[in-house]
Amino acid sequence: MEKQIKMLEEAIKVKKNKYSSQRKYMFNLVKWYKYPLVILSAFSTIVLGLQLGEEWILLQKNIALAIAAGITLLTTLMTFWNIEEYWLQNKVVEQQLVILKQKFEYEKAKGLTKETIEIMFSELQSILGQQQSYWKSALDDKSEENGE
């Protein structure tokens, strides 16, 4: 039974660390998309709102067009890669694993039974299975959209 306890403890730790690092990475990606979008949107508004005179109108329009193209590019990439959804999914799984780890440590302090170990292993598998189910359905949805 000690081997099962050690294996479960290690599995929870490894998976939690994996999802924590993925969440952090994806959050950074979300920031690298969102912040430029906000800044570019503000610049676009300012460029279009400035009244510098008739001789500047063409230049202002061209600058605003270039900024709008950048906004469109970032928005399209963010939508295509669905970065925000992936970040949120990793955050949810990470939180579920933190809760499972706390529950495991509590039960371990009380004295683990074989039944408790099996229940917790099933919970771990369920958490990881939910993540796989989500991405499988997301991929199936994309396949349907593409007419495959």
- Note the Cα 28 to chain centre separation in Å: 10
Q: Can you read off the two tokens belonging to residue 132? A: 């796989």
pTM assigned to the model? 0.74
Sequence spans of domains, the chain = 2-142
Instruction: Indicate the DSSP class of residue 133.
Output: H
> pLDDT digits over 9-46, tens only?
999 999 999 999 999 999 999 999 999 999 999 999 99
Segment 92-122, tens digit of pLDDT: 999 999 999 999 999 999 998 999 999 999 9
Cα gap 92→134, rounded to integer Å:
12
Nearest CA to 131 among 81, 91, 100, 104?
91
